[in-house]
């Protein structure tokens, strides 16, 4: 029974962070595309702003690994 809750906790850590990242990138990507249409010189800033939410998925993965290793 404990194994099931460990797996559910790890899955929630990954899926929650993945959905949050997808939502953030959809908003940032649309705004970046509109900005780049008017000011192409801001492309480096746009790429950085799209890449920053990826850290949420990485942190979610780290939390999931910690849950699995601590519980197993």
Per-residue pLDDT tens over the stretch 5-17: 999 999 999 999 9
In angstroms, the CA 45 to CA 70 distance is: 39
Give yes or no for a contact between 21 and 71, defined as CB atoms under 8 angstroms apart: no
Give yes or no for a contact between 21 and 57, defined as CB atoms under 8 angstroms apart: yes
CATH 3.40.50.970 fits 2-71, yes or no: no
The angle that helices 2-38 and 43-51 make with each other, rounded to 10 degrees, is 170
The pLDDT of residue 69 is 94
Per-residue pLDDT tens over the stretch 18-53: 999 999 999 999 999 999 999 999 999 999 999 999
Band the pLDDT of 68: cuts 50, 70, 90.
very high
The pLDDT of residue 2 is 87
Domain boundaries, the chain: 2-71
Length of the chain: 72
């Amino acid at each position: 029974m404990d194994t099931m809750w460990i797996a559910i906790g790890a899955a929630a850590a990954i899926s929650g962070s993945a959905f949050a990242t997808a939502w953030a990138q959809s908003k940032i990507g649309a705004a970046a595309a509109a900005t780049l249409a008017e000011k192409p010189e801001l492309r480096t800033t746009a790429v950085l702003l799209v890449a920053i939410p990826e850290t949420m998925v990485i942190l979610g993965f780290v939390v999931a690994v910690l849950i699995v290793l601590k519980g197993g």
